[in-house]
Amino acid sequence: MSDFIIREIQPHDNAQIAAVIRAVFIVDQFPKTGTAFADVQLDFMFETYDQPRAVYFVVEHDGKIVGGGGISQLEHSTENICELQKMYFLPEARGKGLGFQMIQRCLAQATEFGYEKCYLETLPEMKAAQHLYQKSGFEYLCEPLGNTGHSTCPVWMITTLSPKK
């Protein structure tokens, strides 16, 4: 696993991470409407996360992007809550502990940014991801927060972040 690198996104990563996210939806046969697949910012991930209190990380393997995940302020929310966003991995990057590492890195950065909670939305079919989220302290919610536009992601989860020491 030492040949997998988690690093912040760079402008030249845009096309690769967009292709990775779209490939995951196609390979795993996930819905394409009302999900991240249809997000307009998918082709401009560096620019989307190049703002205060936001960050996106990519997973690189042998010079190729194989996954990613990030955090940003929860859209249409006035609360101090970030959202874990666009965390997807190609099949060759799964089962290696990278998802857990990515979540921990994102939550640590969210804490550093001063967020109080971290929210996420996912698909019911993403059972392995949900298990990973629970392992990372996320709990299920009965209704969505904010207004992300992801109408076909009916699984909502949240975790409280530990304040910076």
Q: 4-160 maps to which CATH number? A: 3.40.630.30
* Alpha carbon distance 93, 1 (integer Å): 9
pLDDT digits over 73-87, tens only? 998 888 899 999 999
Residue 45: what are its φ and ψ, rounded to 5°?
-65, -40
Q: Residue 137 in contact with residue 41, Cβ under 8 Å?
A: no
pLDDT tens for each residue of 106-160: 999 999 999 999 999 998 988 999 999 999 999 999 999 877 766 667 899 999 9
Segments in 79-151 forming alpha helices (H): 98-113, 127-135
User: Hey, how many other C-beta atoms are within 10 angstroms of the C-beta on 73?
Assistant: 19
pTM (two decimals):
0.92
